[in-house]
Amino acid sequence: MIHFRRVLATIIGIAFLFVFFATLGVWQVNGIVRDTSFFQKHIREAELFDDIYPVIVSDALERYFTEDNVAGFELPYVVDNASALAETVLAPEWIEEQVAHVIGEVHPYLIGTNDSFNVKIEISDRVSQLAEVIQEPEHQNFLHALFIQEFLAPLVVDSLQELLDMEITSDKVINAIERSIPSDALLGQTAEITEQIVKNAAIPDEEELFRLEIKELVYSSLIGSDAPLKVMLKDTGAYEAAVDMLIPLIVEELNASNTSSIAHNSLDGSVIKIKIGENLSIELTSEEIQSFLEDSLAEMFRGHARIDQIFDPLILYFVGENDAFSIALDSSDLSNLFTGFVNEKFLTTFEMKYRELPECDPKTAILFAQRQSTQELPNCRVVGLSVEQIQIAAGLPIFPSLTRSQVEHACSCSIDSILSGLDTNQMLEVIGFTSGISDSDYKNMFPDQIMFGNMEMIAMFGESGHEIVNNVRTFVQNGYVVRKTDTLFGSDPLHELLIYKYVSEGIKFNESDFALWMESDSDDQRPAEVDKDPMEDRLKDIHVALSTLERVTYPLIALSVLLLVIVSILGGRGWRGRLQWFGTWGLVASSLLITLTGPIYHYGIAPALINGRLVPINALDMGQAGAANRLLIDRMLSLMESMIGAMVLPILVACLMVAVGAILLLVFVRFYHRGKHNYSG
């Protein structure tokens, strides 16, 4: 009978082993899954973000910056500087605390302890931290150069090129802006800007995000002979280009106001006639006068002193110091320049007409030799005559022949000119134009002053240019305004509106957001044949499973103890024998579990972790994953190892305690009053 009982006890003992193993597993899993601090503790102890964060940030920056250099800095320097800035503002420790905070809020919801959760992460202090950090010297110079070269300089270059219709190199613009806007002047406003961002982001109806005041910076960079931007405009030819745009307006103004009232001159259609004598005049077409004006005005106004006369009031208008301006441009030099132009035209015209005249007869030629100034176009052209021809024309006796001196004495004139003929210059001298014509012949042709104001400037730049001018005035006077609807980070403006909301209200996340995120993130990942249950159903399944684990934990413990008691009763004789069976099976169960832990980990868990590391490594070799992904997976698997170890350790400790208790029980049974009693197990 005893043998049958012990066989039955052994069978029940084997069942006890399985129940014992299951009990320890369920007990530990149930305890850990419901322990929020377990996950928070391991996140903190793993220092996960200390290693991963710099690599992830560097990898993201290298993907974002595609050029070899940014703002004149080599890409490695840019990445290092931006990474250091990010690590200071969003420190790994801060991220770690936020993750622990999120776990503390979300975990009770996931396990069914709470029906809802609300996560709020304040980031306004991070924005304030950013404002402080970027003013540090190691970041200030880089951010200053980045802002100017990547944003401000292209804006200035594009505006000038569109306004003046000329090519402008960005190097000179960048140099001028850097001299005009020092880093401390620009980034010194960051604290105020940060305050504006936090304040305005909290007001839904406020369109403005922040405002950068630049009026004083622009004023100091443009006003004064040595002002950097002013020197840049001169060096790049922008002044000359603007003058070239200005000249046609002045020409039009001159033509419109003067050609109909040119003293004693007359206008015949598009030809201006300037009368020189009774039958002597020159004709100038409107195209010729316009060409003269353009060339002359360019010569007059391209000197830097004259350019400053034009542009200093213009700049004051641009920066908003004046709402209007009017410049009196000195044009008195036009008359002097016009003298040379008209004389050249007169000589050309006279020479052409003189060549076309018929030859003068000797009698008429003698009149020219007598220097009778008529200031009229001659009727004939004086060619060479002989002494005999002059003698006859003067009415002198043919015989005897007279000498040259006798002929000159008889006609009271010098016959040198008519002996050889009168060329153009000699004829001009004869008719009284030795020094050309005088300005009295075309006085009042041009005004002594030309007025140029903001209305003329608007006409000069045209409709599109006028819009640019107004935008520049608004930009300088009101500052650079960044609105919430502006796209600053290369993303969807709607996403950026969320950023502003996060700054003012913090990042808020509740169970509804979590459900939407899980659905959008996981639905496309699962096989088609798997039912896509709503998030609520999936969480309900998790809660049911955890509730089941909790309900069966204590029954399993009771069942384990009951089975061990049954084994003890069936297998032993008397109380000593039963205690001995109780201790033996307890020792076997705990020792067996301790012994099997190593092989289970080696053959079951370790291969999965090793494969988890090999997959990203192989993908990296094939160019499908970056170092950041590899490190992230490696650290996550290390965290899993740590958590698995933390889960197994209490089980091993429990087994060890059971084993020690069993050994003590066996020792007690073995040696208790052994000498006074006979015992057979």
Copy the structure tokens of residue 578.
Answer: 């039963």
Q: CB neighbours (10 Å) of residue 489? A: 10
- Rg (alpha carbons) of the chain, rounded to whole number: 52
Copy the structure tokens of residue 115.
Answer: 């029906």
pLDDT, residue 482, reads 76
Copy the structure tokens of residue 29.
Answer: 């899993």
pLDDT, residue 479, reads 78
Distance (Å, rounded) from C-alpha 627 to C-alpha 59? 8
Distance (Å, rounded) from C-alpha 42 to C-alpha 37? 8
In-domain check, residue 83: no
574: phi then psi, degrees, rounded to nearest 5: 70, 175
Q: Which of 194, 102, 36 is nearest to 507 (CA)?
A: 102
In-domain check, residue 414: yes
Distance (Å, rounded) from C-alpha 174 to C-alpha 278? 64
Distance (Å, rounded) from C-alpha 107 to C-alpha 115? 11
The whole-angstrom distance between residue 307's C-alpha and the CA centroid of its chain comes to 34
Is there a contact between 238 and 224 (Cβ–Cβ < 8 Å)?
A: no
In-domain check, residue 644: yes
In-domain check, residue 424: yes
Copy the structure tokens of residue 121.
Answer: 């992460």
Copy the structure tokens of residue 47.
Answer: 């220092």
Distance (Å, rounded) from C-alpha 474 to C-alpha 466? 12
119: phi then psi, degrees, rounded to nearest 5: -100, 135
667: phi then psi, degrees, rounded to nearest 5: -65, -40
pLDDT < 50 positions in the chain: 259-269, 441, 489-495, 522-532, 620-625, 675, 679, 681
pLDDT, residue 266, reads 47
Which amino acid belongs to residue 69? N
pLDDT, residue 373, reads 55
Q: How far apart are the first and last CA of the chain?
A: 15
Helix axes 48-64, 92-110, angle to 10 degrees: 110
Helix or strand holding residue 512 (H, E): helix 511-522
pLDDT, residue 99, reads 84
Copy the structure tokens of residue 475.
Answer: 């930009």
pLDDT, residue 528, reads 45
In-domain check, residue 602: yes
In-domain check, residue 394: yes
Copy the structure tokens of residue 95.
Answer: 């991220």
Helix or strand holding residue 101 (H, E): helix 92-110
Query: Who contacts 480 (Cβ-Cβ below 8 Å, separation ≥6)?
Result: 211, 212, 214
pLDDT, residue 535, reads 62
pLDDT, one tens digit per residue, over 560-609 is: 888 888 888 887 777 788 888 888 888 888 888 888 777 776 666 666 65
Helix segments in 268-321, DSSP class H: 286-301, 304-318
In-domain check, residue 376: yes
Distance (Å, rounded) from C-alpha 567 to C-alpha 580? 11
- Domain stops at, among 365, 397, 431: 431
Is there a contact between 117 and 108 (Cβ–Cβ < 8 Å)?
A: yes
Query: Who contacts 359 (Cβ-Cβ below 8 Å, separation ≥6)?
Result: 380, 381, 382, 383
Distance (Å, rounded) from C-alpha 560 to C-alpha 563? 5
Is there a contact between 276 and 438 (Cβ–Cβ < 8 Å)?
A: no
In-domain check, residue 565: no
Beta bridge partners of 327: 452
pLDDT, residue 603, reads 63
Distance (Å, rounded) from C-alpha 566 to C-alpha 80? 69
> Which range of residues forms the domain containing residue 362?
357-431
Is there a contact between 149 and 174 (Cβ–Cβ < 8 Å)?
A: yes
Query: Which one-letter DSSP state was computed for residue 231?
Result: H
pLDDT, residue 217, reads 76
Into how many domains does the chain fold?
Answer: 2
- Domain stops at, among 386, 401, 431: 431
Q: CA dihedral in degrees (213, 214, 216, 220; nearest 10)?
A: 170
How many helices (DSSP H) and strands (DSSP E) are in the chain?
29, 11
Is there a contact between 549 and 30 (Cβ–Cβ < 8 Å)?
A: yes
Find the farthest-apart pair of alpha carbons in the chain and give their distance in angstroms, rounded.
Answer: 198
Q: Which of 236, 230, 226 is nearest to 161 (CA)?
A: 236
- Domain stops at, among 379, 397, 431: 431
